[in-house]
């Protein structure tokens, strides 16, 4: 098991969850962007055993996805882990609560793409999640305006920070949101599987 070790009080850690089926340069770009803009100490790639909203049909085995993620991460501050498998959590909100309990001294922030912000209300207990961990949204071509106007974004419109304040997000109490800025990569894992 590849368990992240976070023992320093006050450590700022970004959580990037997903199937990583497969991992790709877009995941790495987002992570580097988040490390810099939010002045994070680490990013943890939470390689999910099985996304509840995705089919098992095209899902590569976990060990294959873990290997691919480690190859793409290739950075000392990006930690690839299958911790959800070992904690037995299935939904993001349960994973976040378990991590906050296990690593109480760490300041966590959830990272998600603008495309996921749009579908956030489909996630289990999404309001509880939003009110449990601050969130940073990274831009995705074709999704950014829709994400800003999405039901989740408008429901929590008073909780949005300006991108210039991104470094404040990890230490804020939820709900707190911020759109990150930077280059956008159109690549997706679905597209890579189709092209393979």
Per-position DSSP letters for 174-185, written without gaps between them: SS-EEE--S---
Containing domain of residue 131, as a range?
12-73+82-195
In a domain, 137, yes or no: yes
In a domain, 30, yes or no: yes
User: Is the Cβ–Cβ distance between 96 and 46 less than 8 Å?
Assistant: no
In a domain, 4, yes or no: no
Kindly state the DSSP code that residue 58 receives in the 8-state scheme: T
pLDDT in tens, 125-181: 999 999 999 999 999 888 999 999 999 999 999 999 999 999 999 999 999 999 998
How do 160-161 and 42-47 pair as beta strands? unpaired
Domain tally for the chain?
Answer: 1
In a domain, 136, yes or no: yes
In a domain, 2, yes or no: no
Where b means 16+ CB within 10 Å and e means fewer, 25-61 reads ebbbbbbbbbbebbebbbbbbbbbeebeeeeeeebbe
Residue spans of the chain under pLDDT 70: 1-7, 51-56, 185-196
In a domain, 127, yes or no: yes
> Does the pTM exceed 0.85?
yes
CATH of the domain at 176: 3.40.50.620
């Amino acid at each position: 098991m590849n368990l992240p070790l976070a023992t320093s009080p006050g450590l700022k850690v970004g959580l990037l969850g997903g199937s990583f089926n497969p991992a790709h340069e877009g995941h790495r770009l987002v992570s580097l962007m988040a490390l810099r803009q939010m002045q994070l100490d680490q990013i943890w790639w939470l390689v999910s055993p099985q996304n509840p909203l995705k089919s098992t049909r095209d899902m590569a085995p976990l060990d294959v996805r873990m290997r691919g993620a480690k190859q793409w991460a290739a950075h000392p501050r990006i930690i690839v882990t299958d911790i959800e498998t070992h904690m037995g959590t299935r939904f993001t909100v349960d994973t976040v609560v378990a991590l906050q309990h296990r690593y109480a001294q760490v300041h966590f922030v959830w990272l998600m793409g603008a495309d996921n912000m749009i579908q956030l209300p489909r996630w289990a207990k999404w309001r509880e999640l939003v009110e449990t961990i601050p969130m940073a949204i990274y831009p995705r071509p074709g999704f950014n305006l829709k994400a800003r106007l999405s039901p989740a974004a408008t429901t929590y419109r008073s909780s949005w920070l300006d991108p210039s304040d991104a470094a404040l997000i990890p230490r804020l109490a939820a709900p707190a949101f911020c759109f990150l800025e930077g280059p956008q990569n159109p690549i997706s894992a679905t597209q890579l599987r189709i092209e393979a």
